[in-house]
Structure 1
């Protein structure tokens, strides 16, 4: 519990900065908490319950000094995609809250168990290109899903295509509430303008206050604009969520996806902010902190949480030094619920949609996508596939596609690695790639081949076929010398194929020779019996030693140009 160690090292001059930062943070926590609860398909009050408990729990168990956890725009659609299909057709909000709370408990347990098992590396399962595509897909899905609310009507759909078609049809059929659209669009413009030109001003709070004022002055409720209404008064109630056992099994895949996205987001944000303050990132302790935050939220009618980069940035800019900032924000939100539950009753629903839409815009990484297109068409294709998976198959399948594509990309790189023939280049020491140095020289009868990957069951056949092709070139090589330094591993399947290949080449009058094998790989080769099958004189410590042995054996010489 890192938070318990803070008092021993706390400096008096930090107190005022933490309190001020906590007050500023609270102005952001309330509207965003309510908006992201709506995004998850839950009552707005659950967003505030979640905010309070996760901040308090992370303050005790989280290792970062200023990281801010809470309801997140990236998790909202995942929670909705997991919970809403399990709710009865009447959309029972109590069942929705119970399912979301159980989902938070499941995510919390997954995080804690993963931390105990030292599985912090799981955050690396999603590559940056696929994460960019996933977030872009999430951004467009959230934006389109909020458009009907922004325009004052509802669409009965839970897919991107359905939301888009329903929105277009609603607008075409005249269902738009003009006052609602005006409030929502003005809210978006105001938030984006303030964030662009006055970044230190709490843009969301300013928009929310002006929207409440507009509701009161122009009586927007009588013009068909939906309002948040009075919130329940009092402390978040301790509740053990009651759900059907069959529902838990159906929620498990969603919990895994949420845990993965939350962990990836938290580790990346933690690393970024730790680098600025000189702290170290403790991945497994972060998992404990996120797990504790989710468990606390789950027992008080909350839902799964993650790190918020925007709220953490606000806390940092406001002078936050420790988690006292988050505790201050949580206490202020709690005081609002106890003393002023009606403070946001006149807040228009389109204003909350504006908060969510502006948050979704920040999820998209268009410059990153353009950079991928310029730098690597293959990785751009991975990003595009993840984007399309989220947009057209749904959020949960989208995260599955993102993880699957990342793993397949790793496998592809090992399956079809870079391979080349190398030779001597006049004026340069050592041996160099003929693809970049077409003028590279070769000794007659000697081919030096490099394979930049482990040799294992999935790629040993392409490896074998490449060497067979080299053996068929004219003039026929006497040696095929394998520059084996990039080969980091050989499995039993590959060892068997290498033995067969060596016998096949020997029968053709060509020797397979190895140079620069790593000690670990050499030990494995001995264990597999390759050294008993392959001539022990065909193993050399360096390429130069192997080439010198070939020259001594054949009398071959380099051309006079060298």
Structure 2
């Protein structure tokens, strides 16, 4: 009996794993489509994996190791049917900013890989802990305007950082300004390698043209094949063009990253930033593709999937990963139905490393730079920035501040600034919420903003005031000051009715402020009245003891009921545009 129960618990636990559920519900007619999509996806995974590894300051082979393991990890634990994870252009600069300063001058590759792998494990830990705590809402910490600014800054950082590689030389600098100065100096000194520039610029132009004119053609694969052919035919390595060279043969070994204890602090800061960006990116892409397939987005389960992908990559010489919208779109267009597409892609990369590790030995480095630069251009959203300028200047300024934070302080401080600005913007809206006086508009039901309807009718001696936010410590005094201003009107009102439907909470600080306000108003023979106060908030007010000063009879279920009570008591008649 005990054995049967234990077996049932094990089976129940296995059925909770997304990958197991996917296998149990797999349909035979999906197989051919998943296999074809896996082959098509691999043509993108390999060059992008190597390019984004170099963007992160790591050897190209680590991009392939990362691609293999994260695809397998997400296939087991990820909830989405077709979402594709892997090395990402938005994470590359963040990884480099975290790892390279710790790797030291000269950039010891083995130490850099160990640090990047530990970073992946720490991102996995953050995601798993966040999954346990159900913190999927953390992805909402970055507002759209600040994310636009952050991504614009990231795009500029990547573009400036990759231009030297595109043109065949190197620039040693730690800041964007330093890279710009170094780039100009090198250009002035004639450091450009013509053959490298031809490959790099030609690759960028080819990618942009193919993506715009022939979107169904695998542009990256076409460009990479042509670049390898050009390297072989024209012997580009003898003309100063760097090549990828032969990749290490075989499957990546299981490795526990060897890092120093004092590395953990800087890595933790980088892991938190990467986790926030990765989760926000994943939720955004998952939502977009789920809408097309009829799936539901499960933020907490996505965190488990990202955590598993990073965990797998971290133990096999990989680095942190995120969702790729472009690779997911390629898989979808190729007919992908399940995560078997990613498994096929991982298997083909392994076969390549085992059987033909020299397949990409003649791939020019400028071609990889071209892949990264075109990816960076897709991160930028200039039309979105212009739209913010036209629609809401405050959010435009938030976007520009986030952009400048990335450009002048770096990508890690930039994401911290983006999150801080988003949170502060929430507080700003709650601190100084919209408030207005309401009046009656003939022909329209209810009571309406007198700013929108200047001729709205009002009752002499009555002010209907709406404050569009919960009442808490940060805005309670703002509310108090506005009510006092209304009470000093000429002539002063006898009732101030608060249309309290937007007040979803009143905290203890606000309760103390309300008590003092009501006492002051009572001394001036002005009554504070509440209408449409939600039951949970009303119960809090009673628990705070505010009904000692605020008359219990001055709580009404609707504004209409409060107005009716006032008219019954005073006999007041509606007047147009007067109070």
- Count of aligned positions: 562
Measured after TM superposition, the shift of residue 482 of structure 1 is 1.0
Measured after TM superposition, the shift of residue 561 of structure 1 is 11
1:143 — aligned with what?
159
Consecutive unaligned residues of structure 1, counting only runs of 5 or more, are none
Aligned with residue 390 of structure 2, among 374, 392, 411: 374
2:44 — aligned with what?
28
1:468 — aligned with what?
484
1:214 — aligned with what?
230
Aligned with residue 434 of structure 2, among 413, 418, 422: 418
2:86 — aligned with what?
70
Aligned with residue 271 of structure 1, among 268, 287, 294: 287
1:452 — aligned with what?
468
Instruction: Rate the CA distance shift 1:552–1:244 in 2: closer, same or farther, 3 A.
Output: same
The superposition leaves residues 363-396 of structure 1 with CA deviations (integer Å, 9 ceiling, x where unpaired) of: 1112211221121111111111111111111000
Q: Is the Cα contact below 8 Å between 2:51 and 2:369 reproduced in 1?
A: yes
Q: Which moved more, 1:76-85 or 1:360-369?
A: 360-369
* TM-score normalized by the length of structure 1: 0.99
Instruction: Rate the CA distance shift 1:561–1:54 in 2: closer, same or farther, 3 A.
Output: closer
Measured after TM superposition, the shift of residue 286 of structure 1 is 1.0
Q: Is the Cα contact below 8 Å between 2:435 and 2:465 reproduced in 1?
A: yes
Q: Is the Cα contact below 8 Å between 1:114 and 1:287 reproduced in 2?
A: yes
The superposition leaves residues 392-414 of structure 1 with CA deviations (integer Å, 9 ceiling, x where unpaired) of: 11000000011001101111110
Measured after TM superposition, the shift of residue 560 of structure 1 is 9.0
Q: Is the Cα contact below 8 Å between 2:454 and 2:577 reproduced in 1?
A: no
Consecutive unaligned residues of structure 2, counting only runs of 5 or more, are 1-16
1:310 — aligned with what?
326
Q: Is the Cα contact below 8 Å between 1:426 and 1:561 reproduced in 2?
A: no
Measured after TM superposition, the shift of residue 8 of structure 1 is 2.1
Q: Is the Cα contact below 8 Å between 2:136 and 2:303 reproduced in 1?
A: yes
SS for the counterpart of 1:482 is strand
1:13 and 2:29 are equivalent in the alignment: yes
Aligned with residue 371 of structure 2, among 339, 355, 361: 355
Measured after TM superposition, the shift of residue 255 of structure 1 is 0.1
1:431 and 2:439 are equivalent in the alignment: no
Q: Distance in 1 between matches of 2:126 and 2:575?
A: 65
Instruction: Rate the CA distance shift 1:428–1:330 in 2: closer, same or farther, 3 A.
Output: same
Measured after TM superposition, the shift of residue 537 of structure 1 is 1.9
2:110 — aligned with what?
94
Q: Is the Cα contact below 8 Å between 1:239 and 1:301 reproduced in 2?
A: yes
2:64 — aligned with what?
48
Measured after TM superposition, the shift of residue 513 of structure 1 is 1.2
Q: Which moved more, 1:237-246 or 1:533-542?
A: 533-542
2:5 — aligned with what?
none
Q: Distance in 2 between matches of 1:189 and 1:532?
A: 75
Q: Is the Cα contact below 8 Å between 2:282 and 2:322 reproduced in 1?
A: yes
Structural RMSD (CA): 1.2
User: What pairs with 1:281-296 in structure 2 (closer than 5 Å)?
Assistant: 281-296=297-312
Q: Is the Cα contact below 8 Å between 2:200 and 2:369 reproduced in 1?
A: yes
User: What pairs with 1:47-446 in structure 2 (closer than 5 Å)?
Assistant: 47-446=63-462
Q: Is the Cα contact below 8 Å between 2:458 and 2:577 reproduced in 1?
A: no
Q: Is the Cα contact below 8 Å between 2:504 and 2:534 reproduced in 1?
A: yes
Q: Distance in 2 between matches of 1:25 and 1:59?
A: 15
Q: Distance in 2 between matches of 1:119 and 1:102?
A: 23
Q: Distance in 2 between matches of 1:119 and 1:287?
A: 9
2:7 — aligned with what?
none
Q: Distance in 2 between matches of 1:280 and 1:556?
A: 54
Measured after TM superposition, the shift of residue 24 of structure 1 is 0.6
SS for the counterpart of 1:13 is helix
Q: Distance in 2 between matches of 1:545 and 1:13?
A: 63
Q: Distance in 2 between matches of 1:429 and 1:282?
A: 40
The superposition leaves residues 414-444 of structure 1 with CA deviations (integer Å, 9 ceiling, x where unpaired) of: 0000000111112222211100000011111
Q: Distance in 2 between matches of 1:432 and 1:70?
A: 52
User: What pairs with 1:470-509 in structure 2 (closer than 5 Å)?
Assistant: 470-509=486-525
